[in-house]
Structure 1
Amino acid sequence: MAVIKVGLIGGGGIASAHIRGYQQHADRIGITAVADAVEETAVARGTELGAKPYTDYRQMLADEDLDAVDICLPHHLHRDAIVAAAEAGKHILCEKPLCLSAEEAADVRAAVTAAGVTLMCAHNQLFMPAVAKAKELLAAGTIGTVYEVRTTDSFYNDFDPSSMGWRASSKTSGGGELIDTGYHPTYLLLHLAGGLPVEATAMLSTHRLKFMEGEDSAQVLIRFDNDVVGQLVTSWAYQPAESTERFSAVGELGSLHSDGTSLSYRLRSGETKTFELEPVDTFVAEIGHFADSLRDRTRPLHTEDEGIAVLGILLAAYEGARTKTIAPVLKV
């Protein structure tokens, strides 16, 4: 199969991490066109990549012979770009979050299904070796029936009003930290829990970044249809305490936990084991997986199905926080 030709939609911010992936997998997949509403950014990225620049991604879709697109736009622009790409018959890699509402999710699902294209959610943390090893151990029944999964993704963010841009507005970000960085521990929780989310609630806080409209920190509880209960903590306000795990799971036979690099388990029988795993660039691994999925016509780890499930958790968490209830996860 020839090298997969990709149109990059959105050349700022996170696009740099994606570009590293294309550079590492240039024998299989590459960016041949780039669209950004800021002409200076489009031209600069085009020069960097040897790709044709556009200021309108719809024009790029119409003019270019592309196999796929990579969407790296602000959150509120994802739905329209996904629908346009699907209608043009292009496969899609989309940064998180997939979209911002149940209505948008329905539009995404309908467009992708009608076009018969592959949509992969850019859930890069799934490619941490510790996550793959944990999933393997859970599937093998190492800790037995899983009762509880916990995830954490918190850091001290130095955003200020001059640098936060569209993320400061709930209208363009979709909320606050929870739907942004908090999206990562949410899809990780979904992946490890192994079920579909049923209900959720949250406590939201703005500890430090008082100038933004949404929360800068969140604690979320989720119940899945296999009776696993998930807990996640996420924040831009602080570094977590030294002993905080990146993720953990507890089951009938014992537990496992990880700092994101190493992974350990301890069973009630007394058996313990630690895996020291070589870190990888998760964005490079993500782009390689996207290329493999398209070339081999296999299902990506997370498609629109998981993207919509993650969004459902977040929307229920926001609703639970607003109403001080446990809110159902809506089906789309």
Structure 2
Amino acid sequence: MSHAKNFYAGPSVLPISILEEIQKNMVDYMGSGLSLMETSHRSPEYDEVHMNSLNLIREIYGVPDNFKILFIGGGATMQFSMIPLNFLSGGRSCDFTLTGAWSKKAYNDAIKLGKVNVIFDGKDESYTRLPDPASLKATPGASYFHMTSNETIGGIQWKDWPDTGDVPIICDMSSDIMSRPIPFEKFGMIYAGAQKNLGPSGVAIVIIREDMLEKCNPDITAYLDYRIHAKKDSLYNTPPVFPIYAMSLILQKVKADGGLKSIQNRNEEKSRLIYDTIDKSGNFYKSPVDVSVRSDMNVVFTLDSTDLEKEFIAEAKKRQMVGLKGHVSVGGCRASIYNSLPISDVMALVDFMNEFQKEKS
């Protein structure tokens, strides 16, 4: 079978070697006589997978000892509710930066549960730029300062972080988690759905500073309480076994391939190849995002007409390049180039973009 070049925004590309490893062990996991998906989550086989995943995230990402790593079902969208439920009780407030579709969704859930101060809203510029982080000031006494590190739909990414003083930053990193080193000392919590860079959908990774756990709502129900998950090593209930297993394989590959710095270098090279093609096209391709905050994960661009964009996407599909249609809310084109996408696939896309321009010019 010829595998397509996968530019979907999520669920997204997985390494062929990982898919083949999963296939090999799907029915009989490591000679145990059972699939891991039907084995008790209390079994030695799953316990090894679970703890290995937690330990690899800590090692590869450089997570400090005073942070807990949690696996929680429901993806990042459930975190939009869990965060305010834990940290906005008792009349507390939080700060928000609105930088695109996903930060707005998190905001829309938060305002139903507590007071929200909007520190920045990029609506007037169609969410195509970000402010200087040094210009952002947290509200004294706020419980947290929410950011979305990379907007998947808009193709915009924070390159640096504000100094929020005693107000902890909580950051949705769903679409760029483990794509670059981050300064953990800046954050109280980061969270991400796995289905962009770390595996299939179905699990969220939460990395939370231990002192944040002391601030959780004491009256919250069990599954929504971060303290419960931290105390039980994310085994309070049956965890999302399959995505955690796939994630463990991806993490092993990340380590074998040189770790986080190698990933960052490859991601920057991949995005540079496409942005250079856009910038050198003489406006045949156009990126709406300010150059200083262009995403290394999701490259958005437009052509002169929707008809031309449809033709571009259709012709790309004939060449087994899928997922290049922009989100329905913004249109245009989008190439999602997450960690697992080979640079050879990006080079094939760039060659096609040049050929298409030559043919249509």
Asked if Structure 1 and Structure 2 have the same fold, meaning a TM-score greater than 0.5 normalized by the shorter chain, the answer is no
Query: Is the helix fraction higher in 1 or 2?
Result: 2
TM-score (norm 2): 0.31
Query: Is the strand fraction higher in 1 or 2?
Result: 1
TM-score (norm 1): 0.33
Looking at CA atoms only, which structure, 1 or 2, has the larger radius of gyration?
A: 2
